Structure formats: C-alpha cells, structure tokens
Structure 1
C-alpha cells in the first residue's frame, strides 16, 4: 500500500514538473512577446519579466526534486534519517525563497505601475494568494522537519543504548 501511494505522489510530482517546465519553455516567451507587441512602449520589460520568471521557477524545481528524493527515501524505509531532514530543510528554504521572490515582484509591480493608471489589483491579489500558499507549505514542512528531527534523535539514542 505504501509503495502505491509514493508511486502516485512521484507521478504527480513529475507531472507538475513537466507542466511547469512546459509553461516556462513554451508559454512564457509567447506571453512576453504578445505583451511586447501590444504595448511597444514597455517592450523593454519583456526580458526582465522572463528572467524573473525563470529565477522564480528555479527554487520551485529544486523543491520538487527534493520532494521526489524524500519519496524515494520513504520507499527505501529511510524516512527518518538525516537525508530526509536535509531534503525537508531544502524544501523549506526554497519556499521561503519563493515567498521573497513574490514579495519582490509585488513591490516591483507597484513601483513600475505607479502613475500609469493601470489596474494591478489582480496581479497583486494573485501574488498574495501565492505567498499565502507558499507560507502554508513552508510552515507544514517546518513542523514536519521538527517531528522528523525528534524521531531521528530518539533513533540515534536507541542505537547508542543497544
């Protein structure tokens, strides 16, 4: 039963990674070029937008890879080891990095659109929703990291006693 659950979760992680990679490779450049054609006065923002999107996706892919590694550890009955703790730590740092990138993006959108009369409430609300979701993930991973740390400490104590 455990192997099927981890197999399913691995498949979901791979599917999410493929979809996001496809968006990064095919959809984002298309969106940027269409926006540059529609608004030639801000066409120079096309490349910083793409750079920011790719920088934003980097910690996302790192976190996905670490989650996949964590599932492999669970499959090999190594869920409560230092390796799992390291994977959880990297996932938590990646989510905090994503939160920081989203915050910087919200601030830059507000600064760049100041005085233009553009309606940016949709972008800002989307940023806040993504920040909220990422903070929930970071909190959950932090709690899970503490629990695994306690189990690893107890396990190492038992190994020393026996």
Structure 2
C-alpha cells in the first residue's frame, strides 16, 4: 500500500483541485448571478443546478476523492515515519470534513428544502434569502477546505 500512496496522493490533489474549482466558481459568481434573478427564477435555476450536478463525473470527483482520502488516512498512519505523512493525513482529514461531510450535513438539506418550497410564495422568498446566505457560507467552507487539502497533498509529495 505504501507504494500506491504517491499515485493516490496525486489523484487526491487533482480531485481536491477540481472540486475546489467548482465550489470556487459558485462562491464567486454563480450564486451572485442567481441572487440577481427574481426569486422564483433564482429558485428554479438553483433547483435545476441541483438536479444536473448529480453526474457520475462530479460525484466521482467529490465522493471518489473522499474515498481516496480514507485510504490516504490509513496510509499516513501506517507509514507515519515516512516524509510527508503529516501533510497527507492533514489533507485527507481536511478534505473529508470540509467537502463530503459539509455537503451531506449542510448543503444537501438546504437544497432539499429549496426543492420543496413554492417559489412564488412568501415562504419561498424567505427560504431563498436564507439559502443565499447559509448555502453560500457552507460553500465557502467547501471551497477553502478543498484548496487547502490540495495544498497539503502537494506538500506531502514534496
């Protein structure tokens, strides 16, 4: 397993970078653009994104990188005396907590609530305003942790 760690670390760095880039785009301009739309259109657009994002490619990047991180955690602990083990463990933990876990615990429930609301209702407008602040805040967490994890994986390889 120790021999596979460099390859898995490269895969984790690429996966973290891809995921961080997607979340970076949402944090920096996609959500701002949706916020400029009338409430029903913003909700409809976000609901559409939430459906179309569920693709094998993106799910592999997000959750497949998480699976690789589980292997990297084991490898870092087993090979703790090896150079870069600290960075490997740090990157894997940061990615797992900041991306798959934050997504499942915070972002997905916010998306589910948005999908269940009538976009034309007063409740829809209130939920959309909350979504724009809370979802984006948690997306910032995902963005930063994916980028920090990628940096840790690169440090582990150096």
TM-score (norm 1): 0.47
Q: Which has the larger radius of gyration?
A: 1
Does 1 or 2 have the higher relative contact order (CA < 8 Å, sep 6+)? 2
TM-score (norm 2): 0.48
